[in-house]
Amino acid sequence: MDVLRALFDPALVTGLVAYLDHIRPDDAPALVDAGDPPEYIQFLHATQVVRCVGAGQPPHEPKRVPGFSVGCSQRQVLDQVVQMVSNKPSHVLIAKRSTNGRGNIFTWNTIRTHLQNRSWKRLLSRIGDDAMRQLLSRCSVFEALENGCFLQVSGQAITRDKVPLCPVKHVSPYSATVQCSSMLYACRSSVSRAGLPSTHILNQVNDNVHALLADIFVSSNKRRARRPPSLRPTVQRLAPVFRRILKTHRHLNYHSILEQHCPVDRSASTSSDLSARYTAAIRQYTSADNVSAFVRNVVLRLIPRVLWGSKNNFMAFCQAVHTFVHLRRFESIDVTFIMQRLRTKDCSWLGDGVGARAAISKQTMLAKWLHWLFAELLVPLVRSAFYVTESEPYRNRIFFYRHEVWNRISDMAVTELCADQFRQIDEGSAQQMVVSRGVGYSQLRILPKMNCVRPIVNCANRNAVGVGRQPSVNDSLKNAFSALSFERARNPGLCGISNAPNLDAVYDRLLPFVISLANVQSAGEKLVKVYMVSADIQKCYDSILRPRVMDILQNALAEKNYFVHRWTTANRSAAWGNGYTRKRYHRDAASVTSVPQMDELALERSKKCRNTVFVEQPGAERISCESIIQQIREHIHDNIVKFRKLFYCQAVGIPQGSIISSLLCSMYIADLERNQLEKSALPSNDSALSQRSWTIKASCSDSVVLRQVDDFLLLTTCKDVAESFLASMVGGFPEYNFSVNARKTQANFAVGMPGSEEPIKTVMTWCGLEFDSSRGLELRGDYSRFTSTSIADTLTVSRVSGRPCNKLRERGLRLFVESKTHPLLLDSRINTKRGICLNVYQLFRFGACKLNAWLSQLRHLRSTPFQCGLAEGLIHAFHVSRRRRCGDMEFVLSSNEVRWLALHALSHVFRRKQSRFRNLLAWIKAKLRSSDLRRLDHCSHLRFALRGTYDGALNKIKY
């Protein structure tokens, strides 16, 4: 019921029985009779009623019905209720019109069907027509499912807007935030030189100081009024000061200040080697410290000292600027956080009023001024001088490139892309293609790597074309994706027998192989050798042959028509922060002969989620197979991307970045497996596939192949299978235009691999996992991808005042350990007890590195009880995550053993920061001396985790 109290005023949420006691006629029969079935009784006591039609609507006061009567059937009552709420189109009982793609209109609403089941009919016979009409027309009704979930059966459908969970006890005078993302990806062509853009208010108002003051100190709603907004006397007295700002702005040489603090080395590399030129240009980024100095110098010259009030206030502002330009990609800073070190009493221009009301007025005025400085001055200034972007090796850390440097990088990228992947088209042709097919274009940007760039295609944004806006590429492909997902669920072999799109699928496919391996080893004395091969298809998406993928698509769509059913979920979770409920929109495709029912779907989905409300969207669609194929054909052959105001059409392969890209790629590779690999090297557990002609001996069937999109991994006990598989992969597949990246091909046995001179290894990494074949097969987490950057670059730290601690407790601690808390690493059927101890120790050590980096970002959080509470919270987060992700799997370590490993991992990390965590280390030492943990000091399986034999990657992580 928590999610309902989050969506509605808790005072309006009540049980069905309690509500009916207020409206049932006095002469009505009892709600419950001795012969009533259990499901009816459960329905009565679990259903919840909200005394309003929708969130934000006025509450409904229940009125007792004067007399009991049942003169209508439940269906007739529903028809009457629909007439009563016909002026509320968002009501869940209103059947919306939909098209079947041929112009025919039909309606769809399974909630009406659900409300005619036995429980609702029985309820009608107990409360009468009038009470039922009042219940369904004046209230929002939610039937209980499993795990605290509900199905909405009446009332206005929950909306997209975020709804506060509870009233905020303290409202900041001005709580606006400035996002780091507001600085990202600025287009250089919008400005000619460093400085503020021509559309900026300082370039628009000329000498109109009144307009400038209104832009800063008057709310946006008042500024939109027809009449000029009036200014308070306190603001009007600032006119001479801001007139000086306008004058200074007109004469300020922004470019010279930029060259002073952020110079560019114009003797760039002229090497003929593209990689060398890329490397030289990518290394020419400007440090965040220099950007901060540039902004501070501009502000110092532009803003009169009187507006700072004191040197302390200016230094506090400079510190806030320094913090802002050092934010990571998804971080933000709010004005209240900036104001923490500023003294309003130093700013005489705020007025001389006294009292609480005057103090709040001063804070609000100062907050508006500071927000304008950051959002309307600092951000445009940075965007005009720099292209700001993240980098692939450094995760969330942002880099500042002078526009002339970024132009060189972009020119090299365009030349490279147009050489073999894209061709440029004129804007008129692009708009004509977009309008004719009704699908927007994608946005292309480039992401710097160490010595090259990676193109990133965004298919989720809507785009302006002509006089209107076209839906995004992903929005237009949602129905096609639903149909393909339906076929994939109905026919798992569609994406290949090796397809393992996530760790859960890897676990399901790997566990039988490991159990079989353990049985073989237990029967014999000699350790069974596991042969491993990993391979990666080179430029997979760009190499896919379009005619072949369209043939595969036509064979995959088995139905002539598909029915698309849509619904909404509202989920309350602490993982999304304090105070909000998240809404998500879903759609499923099905055969027209098996129309889905919302109650059945919600009941099935509620078994896998918690605190979720399911709401059916009455609109439904019937789409034909031909329309799906035509839409995907246009998406593949006419994929248009926009980069730097120019349009390009993809010339080869299939698009990346759309919701169907990975699915099409998996189907294409699955076809390759069936026609090329299964007859030569690929082991199969499918009885239908095992009837094919094989060149591999039947005795070598103890093998498993795993694939995540285009990354293959073979595990086998037969060397012939491994060699045959490796030969097939290295030889390539000309019929499918695929070749293997020899540099990334690995094997743990001696064999000639063209282009690869890697020594033989017993440990191989694949998709975030380490496979160790030195003694059978053991799995560990792969931490090597975190060694190229500081662990702080992977974090997102909230600098919104009052929330950092809550964010860390609610979400951060769980995320610190969740990624490596998986049955693949904790199941005793896959790993030995020593291996599980090592995995637990490593994940806690990795989590401690993240915790240390997080605390380093917010140095004011140095309270010993707080730090000790975080250490306890990290251990608790592991147990919660393990129970949720591992389910009923037997876990061989006791809680004390986990605690022993966790405390040793924390101690190892924080010992390097003794001056900051002296008290925390003393607390850890005291805990390890307790009798429950001290007796574990001599356990060999625990001591094995502390040896450091397998901690090479963890030792290289910078924190």
Q: What is the pLDDT of residues 151-162, one digit of tens each?
A: 999 998 886 444
- Ranges of CATH 1.10.357.90 domains, the chain: 784-956
- Ranges of CATH 1.10.132.70 domains, the chain: 177-271+287-386
Angle, CA of 473, 479 and 482, to the nearest 5°: 115
How far apart, in whole angstroms, are the C-alpha atoms of residue 743 and residue 753? Answer: 9
pLDDT of residue 169: 41
How far apart, in whole angstroms, are the C-alpha atoms of residue 421 and residue 652? Answer: 6
Neighbours of 906 (CB within 10 A): 26
Tokens of 484: 């393909």
614 or 167: which leads in pLDDT: 614
pLDDT of residue 682: 52
Task: Give yes or no for a contact between 396 and 202, defined as CB atoms under 8 angstroms apart.
Answer: no
Q: What is the pLDDT of residues 616-671, one digit of tens each?
A: 987 678 899 999 999 999 999 999 999 988 999 999 999 998 999 999 999 999 99
Please say if the pLDDT value at position 814 is more than 90.
no
Coil/strand/helix, residue 461: coil
Tokens of 744: 């990334």
Q: Hey, what CATH class is 177-271+287-386 in?
A: mainly alpha
797-818 in b/e form (b: 16+ CB < 10 A) is bbbbbebbbbbbbbbbbbbbbb
- What mean pLDDT is predicted for residues 419-447? 88
How far apart, in whole angstroms, are the C-alpha atoms of residue 594 and residue 484? Answer: 16
- What mean pLDDT is predicted for residues 403-430? 92
Please say if the pLDDT value at position 28 is more than 70.
yes
How far apart, in whole angstroms, are the C-alpha atoms of residue 150 and residue 627? Answer: 35
How far apart, in whole angstroms, are the C-alpha atoms of residue 64 and residue 530? Answer: 75
pLDDT confidence bin for 689, thresholds 50/70/90:
very low
Q: Hey, what CATH class is 784-956 in?
A: mainly alpha
pLDDT confidence bin for 754, thresholds 50/70/90:
low
H or E stretch covering 755: none
Task: Give yes or no for a contact between 449 and 394, defined as CB atoms under 8 angstroms apart.
Answer: no
pLDDT of residue 693: 31
pLDDT of residue 908: 96
Q: What is the pLDDT of residues 564-607, one digit of tens each?
A: 988 999 887 544 444 457 788 899 999 988 878 899 999 999 99
DSSP state of 151: E
Please say if the pLDDT value at position 187 is more than 60.
yes
Tokens of 687: 């009885």
Please say if the pLDDT value at position 72 is more than 80.
yes
Angle, CA of 150, 156 and 162, to the nearest 5°: 75
- 451 to each of 268, 448, 785, how far by Cα in Å? 15, 8, 17
Q: What is the pLDDT of residues 476-524, one digit of tens each?
A: 999 999 999 999 999 988 998 899 999 999 999 999 999 988 888 777 6
How far apart, in whole angstroms, are the C-alpha atoms of residue 239 and residue 355? Answer: 26
